[in-house]
Structure 1
Amino acid sequence: MSAAVQLRNSDLASAVAEAREAYVAARPASRALHERARQVMPGGNTRTVLVYSPFPTAMESGEGCYLRDIDGRDYLDLCGEYTAGLFGHSEKRIHDAVRAALGRGINLAAVGEAETSLASLVCGRFPSVELVRFTNSGTEANLMALTAARAFTGRDTVMAFRGGYHGGVLLFPLSGTNPATVPFPFVMADYNDIEGAVSVIRENADRLAAVIVEPMLGSGGCIPARLEFLAALRKATAEVGAVLIFDEVMTSRMSGGGLQQRLGVTPDMTTLGKYMAGGMSFGAFGGRGEIMGLFDGRIAHAGTFNNNVLSMAAGNVALGKIFTAEAAETLFDRGEAMRARLNDILARAGTVMHFTGIGSMATAQFRAGPIERPAPPTPEEEALRELFFFDMLASGIYLAKRGMIALSLPVGEAELDRLAAAVADFAEARAGLLPRA
């Protein structure tokens, strides 16, 4: 390692240490809460993605696209609850729908009109969804979709992609395995690698039940799939009789009918979740009638809260009245413009730092593009990502620790101007630490 690189890494470590110290000093209440939480919850939390060193910021309230933490600090919310917070924190029509549902009784232990109307909305929007069933999360939706594919094909093996994430028990790290992942027989391939993926499909043709793929990696870094890659998966799975599942839990916001509609590639099944019940717990899986028909007697699908009245009521308003196809298109265009603006700022600053993504989702990257698949981060990249996160918090902007942005509908031009200014300030203030173009 050259002396210049050694000095730069030393300076980077010092900058991160200083940012951490400032972070701790500004959040005594969050620190105290974390210490109490550790006494009753392992790690001091019940949701791993929200935790980071030295301790996570605890939020007290939200309004519109803004948050306030328990130390009284305000933030522009660009985390967007990892895409679930599409409607912000105070959409009156959703609040009214939830209050009305509460007034009619919470746990009715019966079917109701709201679930049929929400199912009709979902089936009417997504090209691949002829029939649909609801769950409580995207994780459950993916588990049930894979279960259906295995039963439909009479095969057992699932193909997934390194760096992909399909829920808390369907996590596929770049190397090794995750001990929480369900013990289905898995075969792996690299994202956007057409030749490699098709080869794995054909090699496992006699035992392959399903291929599950995100049309854009979410937690894997907002890396879009190339159209040719998805088209090749569509063709190869059809040839061997495997079920192609698009995990659109995150990407369904990319048009009125999801990314599948925008790209013109129709899978056999689709999984959904996140924002679709207006911020209430929600998941859904659907697809071809002959596959989904297995749930009409052959496969049992239980779940106390699958059709809970709050999610059903909020979902009808969220999809039926607010997030129309026109609203989805407007949000998509706003996100495309945002990412182009941020990347122009960074390019003019002379750094390879840039944002990947599609539409209203983006993730900060600290290596040269184009990036087609996730790769293990270098220690320098990890340090820069942490520094960016702390600097954004210091600027009053809250985003995911991994550098992901998910726009919500209340985010307007003033908020995007604020983000652009903060990124420009970061590029200028940290110019000596950022990798150069």
Structure 2
Amino acid sequence: MPSTAANSHEAEALDAALAEAREDYVRRNRESQARFMAAAESMPGGNTRTSLFYDPFPLCMLRGEGCRLTDADGHEYLDFLGEFTAGIFGHSPEVLKQAIRAALDDGINLSSHNAIEGKLAERICARFPSMDLLRFTNSGTEANLMALAAALTFTGRRKILVFAGGYHGGVLTFPPGGTPVTVPHDFVVASYNDLEKTLDLVKPHRSELAAILVEPMQGAGGCIPGAPEFLAGLRALADETGAVLIFDEIQTSRLSLGGRQQLLGITPDMTTIGKFFGGGLAFGSFGGRREIMQVFDPRRPSSIGHAGTYNNNSLTMAAGLAAVEQLLTAEALDALNARGDRFRADLNAMFAAKTVPITVSGLGSLMNIHPQGAPQMANAKRSLLFFDLVKAGIYFAPRGLIALSFPIGGQEISAFLNALDGILDARRSLLV
């Protein structure tokens, strides 16, 4: 049989299996479907957060406890998505509930500075030597926007070096072909992990370069770790040109007490963080060298403004302080990332042992599943794995993202591996 005919037959078989899996998903999740259709009457596509949508409709979760979720149809899942890395604590641990209750008792948002924001800032600065001073925001997106504002103001320049596949928030994203929602800064878009091409690309712009914005591991781009020599080369480029090197550690700050910059021994000029440092509430922060951050000091006549009603809201400050002091310890993070490294190794070993061309990339507790082959076939294989694992009670992102939380232990990891083992045996002919 000619190879093109064989490939066509394989694609047809895969498409048929995926269609059947979707039909089964619909049959088992009628209540989620009904709630989705009702939401579509008042939200475009029943959705207000694009990353949560998948065809034919997303699950509607009603409750979470520890690392377990319950959906509208009564199905229970092990949560291997961890709120796209933000849910590192699991669902509503007692430490965070107590902190939020105490903040509620003292009054929500006191129209003033409060007693907690300075303490939280001090604790975070102590973790990241790159942060002499910091400011709070309400999201990682906002933190990156304000870090860029600081860099442009400090340098008096306009060009910003970013990387294809990078994601720095909903309006700072650089997928193939671009997107109209990205803010209209003067970007130079280079190839991630290719230092030689990056240096060639920026050569004509070296005197105009205000900032270099980079993830030490591309998260939404597929958990692709930045090569140490690549990131070190960007540090050298910033030193040579006077540009501000910004590490977006909104995801990778969980890889150690001081993020991936601590593991690599590379100190950026500015760092952005978010997600779990707010104790599970909406949060972001940006910080850096004192002389850069002082552009926001309102005591200085030339300062620039950075307002935001909820920047220091009492609930997030309280939850964040409790999280930093009691949960996000070096010991807890090291143990979680060690579990993640073992889990990723076990996944790759299973795929290899069954000669299924799928790999898992990532670092520590963050990882992404990558079927190999042509994009359309790879996406179909990833979708089939997703629906099969969801049916088995394993919840993760349809794009293949897995983010472990503290409550995920050996029992939960074994359940994932056992479910995957059976799926690979049943579906091997479709996945090779």
Q: TM-score, normalised by structure 1?
A: 0.96
Are 1:384 and 2:381 counterparts? yes
Q: Match for residue 335 of structure 2?
A: 330
Q: Over aligned residues, Cα RMSD in angstroms?
A: 1.0
Give the distance between the partners of 1:221 and 1:128, measured in 2 at CA. Answer: 26
2:5 aligns to what? 3
State the number of aligned residues.
426
Report the equivalent of 2:72: 70
The answer for the alignment partner of 1:301 in structure 2 is: 306
Match of 1:264 in 2: 265
From 350, 353, 356, the counterpart of 2:355: 350
Q: Distance in 2 between matches of 1:245 and 1:422?
A: 40
Residue in structure 1 matching 2:24, options 22, 28, 35: 22
User: What does residue 185 of structure 2 align with?
Assistant: 184
Q: Which residue of 2 aligns with 1:366?
A: 371
1:95 alignment partner AA? K
Q: Deviations over 1:335-381 (max 9, x none)?
A: 1011001111111001220110000001001128xxxxxxxx61101
**Letter of the 2:73 counterpart:** D
The aligned counterpart of 1:248 is: 249
Q: What's the counterpart of residue 406 of structure 1?
A: 403
* Partner SS state of residue 113, structure 1: coil
Q: For 1:314, which of 288, 294, 319 is the aligned residue?
A: 319
Offset from partner CA, 1:308-346 (integer Å, 9 cap, x none) = 111100011101111111111111111101100111111
Which residue does 1:373 correspond to in 2? none
Question: Cα offset for 1:230?
Answer: 0.2
Q: Among 425, 430, 433, which residue is 2:430 paired with?
A: 433
Q: Is 2:144 the partner of 1:142?
A: yes
Report the alpha carbon displacement of residue 236 of structure 1 after superposing the two structures with TM: 0.9
Residue 426 (structure 1) shift: 2.3
Task: For 2:226 and 2:427, locate their aligned partners in 1 and report how far apart those are by CA, in whole Å.
Answer: 31
Query: Could you tell me which residue of structure 1 aligns to residue 171 of structure 2?
Result: 169
Structure 1: state its 5+ residue gaps. Answer: 369-376
Out of 393, 396, 400, which is 1:396 matched to? Answer: 393
Q: Structure 2 CA distance, aligned partners of 1:156 and 1:55?
A: 42
Question: Residue 95 in 1 paired to residue 100 in 2?
Answer: no
**Deviations for 1:26-70, whole angstroms, at most 9, x for unmatched residues?**
011111111111110111111110011101100000000000001
Aligned to 2:196, what secondary structure does the other structure show? helix
Q: Shift of the alpha carbon at 1:174? A: 1.7
Q: Which runs of 5+ in 2 are unaligned?
A: none
- 2:220 is matched with 219
- What amino acid is aligned across from residue 323 of structure 1 in structure 2? L
The structure 2 residue matched to 1:424, chosen from 415, 418, 421, is 421
CA apart distance, 1:4:
1.6
Q: What displacement does 1:202 show?
A: 2.8
Deviation at 1:433, TM superposition (A): 1.4
Contact 1:202 1:240 survives alignment (8 Å): no
Q: Taking every aligned residue pair, what percent have the same amino acid on both sides?
A: 52
Question: Which amino acid in structure 1 is aligned with residue 283 of structure 2?
Answer: F
Q: Secondary structure in 2 aligned to 1:206? A: helix
Does the 8 A contact of 1:201 with 1:236 survive in 2?
Answer: no
Q: Whole-Å Cα distance in 2 between the matches of residues 204 and 251 of structure 1?
A: 29
Match of 2:41 in 1: 39
Partner Cα distance (2:158, 2:422) in 1:
52
What is the TM-score with the length of structure 2 in the denominator? Answer: 0.97
Q: Distance in 2 between matches of 1:313 and 1:218?
A: 27
Whether the 8 Å contact between 1:16 and 1:386 is mirrored in structure 2 is yes
One-letter code aligned to 1:206: S
Q: 1:132 is paired with a residue of what secondary structure? A: strand
User: What SS does the aligned partner of 2:246 have?
Assistant: strand
Distance in 1 between residues matched to 2:53 and 2:152, nearest whole Å: 35
- Tell me, in whole angstroms, the C-alpha distance in 2 between the residues paired with 1:391 and 1:299: 52
Q: Give distance in 2, aligned partners of 1:108 and 1:162.
A: 42
Contact 1:38 1:44 in 2 (8 A): yes
Letter in 1 for 2:206: A
How far is the alpha carbon of 1:274 from its aligned partner?
0.8
Alignment partners' CA distance in 2, 1:121 and 1:202: 39
Residue identity opposite 1:429 in structure 2? A
Distance 1:199 1:120 in 2: 40
Q: Aligned partners of 1:326, 1:138: CA distance in 2, in Å?
A: 25
The CA distance in 2 between the partners of 1:204 and 1:58, in whole Å, is 48
Question: What do residues 139-170 of structure 1 show as CA deviations (whole Å, max 9, x unaligned)?
Answer: 00000000000001100111111111000000
Contact 1:211 1:242 in 2 (8 A): yes
Instruction: Describe the SS at the equivalent of 1:172.
Output: coil
CA distance in 2, matches of 1:394, 1:330: 29
